């Protein structure tokens, strides 16, 4: 494929090769290491190199993090919150430079890159405000009212390992780290080797915000090489990536008897009910399916439309899709940017070609666009997709979506649930209450009504995650910080050992204890 002739890519940004070299230098290694080339998808030109860390480098980083963690955990939680709040402010203040860096590494459009900056700032503010209460010591019901009590405290697990993907390098390197840090943990982050500079820039801002040295460490390199080494040296793993790799992460974490959270793949359904506003649903489909050129784990890839709305919806969706602009400018112009690299572009193109061979029709898009950029691919809508074909069952992770008519809501729900994945879904209807009822019937961790994904993702007070092959655990909300703590219960008796007093027959003691238990059961019923 021919490359586009463009000016030197760095000249279009607020960055420089020297700036990228300085970020690479933040990765500490134990000696001379091979380098990994980092390329800009907009041109496929090298923009810099990063160290190819080894298992020894991971061990050193984890050791430094562990040494720094104790003092960080002893820092008052209000002070930890203040540092993270300041970090969020710095992310907002440095927005334009961070957007340049995200675009440079991913090739996404600026309008989609800005979602990442806003998300990190919001997450910082949320956990700084509500995180301390979520992990504060609390009283619980004791064994015997008035005679015993129980209190629960929450202690950090220790060192958290974060393995983040390339598609949202700013959001997904930090969304998991922020609550982990607030809870008093140290973090070792392994960003994807395609997009390391964003994580390194964020580490620099954490330091500027006042985070003590070594509390947040970054290791760079090949996932199969340093991922297992990281899992072996941390106390918790947060992973975002493919289901196949997630299974391996979970297996190794299980062998080490450490907990993990996994956000994995999805084949997300979108349901357009008979009473839906087709124009609104079409706009939602465009936003959901083609944000970040479809390289979004929450993107709808299967759209099921009631027969009564099918033709009108398809016309509206195709019209809106054909109005999108492809481009690679470092400004708020183009609607859709690039795929990440040549291998991924080949996979997306091959998936569409295979679907057509299986009988699908391309009603919009379906072409590579080397005239725009080496890895650009048109937003693509398919119809008449074989429900058993690969593209109907497996995640494409590109700007490709199928539209299928269904005979009613029951069939839409049945088709939506006919998948091992369960990450995100959406329901479109004028009757919001009906939409919520339908949402409850869909086997997904998050379901949005009249929105493709943003209403769910941006609800940072609500848990987000997948079921089935889409993963384990939850990020966001109180659940998102409590995964990083160990609960300790301290139970205190005011009367000494709970055993028969001297001289009291055991049968009398058992009778009295049974009476107290019966009273407790009644009180518990009444308290509800």
Query: Residue 316, SS3?
Result: helix
Q: What residue ranges in 69-215 does DSSP mark as E strands?
A: 138-140, 148-156, 159-163, 186-190
What are the tokens at 227?
């991922």
Taking a C-beta distance cutoff of 8 angstroms, is the pair 423, 445 a contact? yes
Query: What is the spatial distance between Cα 112 and Cα 99, in angstroms, rounded to a whole number?
Result: 10
Angle among Cα 472, 81, 112 to the nearest 5 degrees reads: 60
Q: Does the annotation count 39 as an active-site position?
A: no
Instruction: Compute φ and ψ for 162, nearest 5 degrees.
Output: -120, 125
Catalytic residue among 105, 263, 301, 395: 263
Cα→Cα distances 191→78, 136, 167, 201, 398, Å: 28, 31, 11, 12, 21
Query: What is the spatial distance between Cα 401 and Cα 301, in angstroms, rounded to a whole number?
Result: 4
300-306 and 361-364 strand pairing: unpaired
DSSP code, position 470: T
Query: What is the spatial distance between Cα 195 and Cα 170, in angstroms, rounded to a whole number?
Result: 9
Catalytic residue among 297, 376, 444, 448: 297
Taking a C-beta distance cutoff of 8 angstroms, is the pair 382, 9 a contact? no
Instruction: Give the closest residue to 368 by CA, choosing from 378, 359, 355.
Output: 378
Query: What is the spatial distance between Cα 321 and Cα 288, in angstroms, rounded to a whole number?
Result: 12
259-263 and 471-472 strand pairing: antiparallel
Q: Does the annotation count 297 as an active-site position?
A: yes
421-422 and 35-40 strand pairing: unpaired
Catalytic residues: 263, 297
């Amino acid at each position: 494929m021919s490359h586009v002739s463009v000016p030197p890519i760095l000249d279009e940004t607020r960055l420089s090769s020297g700036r990228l070299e300085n970020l690479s230098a933040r990765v500490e290694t134990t000696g001379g290491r091979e380098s990994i080339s980092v390329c800009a998808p907009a041109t496929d030109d090298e923009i810099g190199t990063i160290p190819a860390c080894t298992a020894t480098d991971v061990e050193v980083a984890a050791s430094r993090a562990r040494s720094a963690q104790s003092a960080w955990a002893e820092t008052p939680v209000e002070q930890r919150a203040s540092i993270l709040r300041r970090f969020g402010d710095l992310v907002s203040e440095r927005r334009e430079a961070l957007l340049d860096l995200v675009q440079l590494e991913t090739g996404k459009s600026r309008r989609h890159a800005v979602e990442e900056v806003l998300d990190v700032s919001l997450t910082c503010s949320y956990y700084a405000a509500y995180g301390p209460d979520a992990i504060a010591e609390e009283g619980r019901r004791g064994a015997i009212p008035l005679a015993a009590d129980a209190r629960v405290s929450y202690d950090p697990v220790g060192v958290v390992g974060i393995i983040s993907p390339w598609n949202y390098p700013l959001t997904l390197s930090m969304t998991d780290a922020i609550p982990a840090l607030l809870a008093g943990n140290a973090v070792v982050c392994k960003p994807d080797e395609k997009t390391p500079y964003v994580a390194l820039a964020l580490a620099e801002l954490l330091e500027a915000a006042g985070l003590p040295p070594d509390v947040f460490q970054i290791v760079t390199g090949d996932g199969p090489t340093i991922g297992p080494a990281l899992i072996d040296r941390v106390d918790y793993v947060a992973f975002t990536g493919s289901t196949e790799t997630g299974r391996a992460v979970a297996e190794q974490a299980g062998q080490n008897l450490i907990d993990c959270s996994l956000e994995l793949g999805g084949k997300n359904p979108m349901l357009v009910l008979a009473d839906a506003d087709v124009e609104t649903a079409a706009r939602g489909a465009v936003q959901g399916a083609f944000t970040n050129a479809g390289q979004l784990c929450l993107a709808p890839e299967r759209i099921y439309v009631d027969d009564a709305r099918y033709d009108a919806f398809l016309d509206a969706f195709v019209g809106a899709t054909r109005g999108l602009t492809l481009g690679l400018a470092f400004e708020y112009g183009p609607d859709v940017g690039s795929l990440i690299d040549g291998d991924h572009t080949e996979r997306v193109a091959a998936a569409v070609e295979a679907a057509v061979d299986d009988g699908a029709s391309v009603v919009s898009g379906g072409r590579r666009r080397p005239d725009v950029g080496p890895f650009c691919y048109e937003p693509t809508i398919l119809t008449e997709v074989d429900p058993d074909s690969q593209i109907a069952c497996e995640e494409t992770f590109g700007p490709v979506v199928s539209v299928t008519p269904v005979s009613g809501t029951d069939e839409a729900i049945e088709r939506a649930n006919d998948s091992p994945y369960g990450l995100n879904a959406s329901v479109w209807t004028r009757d919001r209450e009906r939409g919520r009822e339908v949402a409850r019937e869909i086997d997904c961790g998050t379901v949005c009504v009249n929105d493709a994904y943003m209403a769910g993702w941006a609800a940072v007070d609500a848990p987000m995650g997948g079921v089935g092959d889409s993963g384990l655990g939850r990020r966001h909300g109180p659940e998102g910080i409590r995964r990083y703590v160990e609960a300790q219960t301290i139970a205190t008796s005011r009367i000494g050992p709970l055993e028969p007093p001297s001289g009291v027959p055991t049968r009398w003691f058992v009778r009295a204890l049974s009476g107290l238990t019966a009273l407790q059961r009644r009180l518990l019923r009444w308290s509800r």
